[in-house]
């Protein structure tokens, strides 16, 4: 075998190995699971919202309580190791809402609590959520700057 043929054979073997270990995803099924999971989370949130309104809270305060209770529920489920199976089943349906964000903050804090308050929880708590917060704040600042310049120039 020539060197070129040997390299092509290695590439072919590598491609076959990648096909063997790459999980087979059924996109329509994943989308349905995400829709159902996200829908259930949103239905729970809507139930909390309507329940709070029925108790006499105004719209803003009911929304605040809804957010707080969804975060609390997510943290409790994460602490009991029940949120991860929900996320495994529902994918983006469980990871996108506020509950997924709460899970992304809580899970590293629980996982690294044995390392101590500073080097465990303090260092690892924003491992996943940190980039979201950072780029969210940066994007808001950038859009605010563009808006401000637009006001000065008279475009906005």
Quick: pLDDT tens for 10-69: 898 898 888 888 878 888 999 999 999 999 999 999 999 999 999 999 999 999 999 999
Q: Is position 110 within any domain?
A: yes
Q: Is position 69 within any domain?
A: yes
Please state, in angstroms and rounded to a whole number, the distance separating the CA atoms of residues 22 and 32: 21
Q: Which domain holds residue 81?
A: 32-125
Taking residue 83's Cβ as centre, other Cβ atoms within 10 Å add up to: 23
Structural contact between residues 63 and 50, judged by C-beta atoms closer than 8 angstroms: no
Local structure of residue 49 (DSSP, 8 states):
H
Please state, in angstroms and rounded to a whole number, the distance separating the CA atoms of residues 49 and 66: 5
Q: Is position 12 within any domain?
A: no
pLDDT tens digits, 102-144: 888 888 777 777 777 777 667 777 777 778 788 889 999 999 9
Question: Structurally, how many domains does the chain consist of?
Answer: 1
Q: Is position 2 within any domain?
A: no
**Cα angle value 46/51/57 (rounded, 5°):** 110
Structural contact between residues 93 and 39, judged by C-beta atoms closer than 8 angstroms: yes
Cα separations in angstroms, 82 against 57, 74, 78, 155: 31, 9, 6, 50
Q: Is position 22 within any domain?
A: no
Q: Is position 135 within any domain?
A: no
Q: Is position 117 within any domain?
A: yes
Tokens of 122: 């303090």
Q: Is position 13 within any domain?
A: no
Indicate the pTM of the whole model. Answer: 0.67
């Amino acid at each position: 075998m020539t060197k070129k043929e040997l390299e092509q054979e290695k590439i072919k073997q590598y491609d076959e190995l990648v096909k063997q270990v790459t999980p087979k995803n059924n996109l329509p099924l994943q989308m349905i699971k995400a829709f159902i999971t996200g829908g259930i989370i949103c239905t729970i949130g809507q139930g909390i919202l309507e329940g709070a309104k029925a108790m006499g809270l105004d719209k803003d305060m009911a929304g605040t309580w809804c957010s707080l209770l969804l975060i609390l529920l997510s943290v409790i489920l994460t602490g009991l190791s029940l949120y991860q199976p929900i996320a495994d089943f529902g994918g983006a349906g469980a990871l996108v809402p506020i509950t997924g964000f709460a899970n992304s903050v809580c899970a590293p804090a629980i996982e690294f609590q044995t390392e101590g308050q500073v080097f465990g929880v303090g260092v690892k708590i924003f491992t996943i959520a940190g980039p979201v917060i950072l780029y969210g704040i940066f994007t808001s600042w950038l859009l605010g700057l563009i808006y401000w310049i637009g006001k000065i120039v008279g475009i906005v």
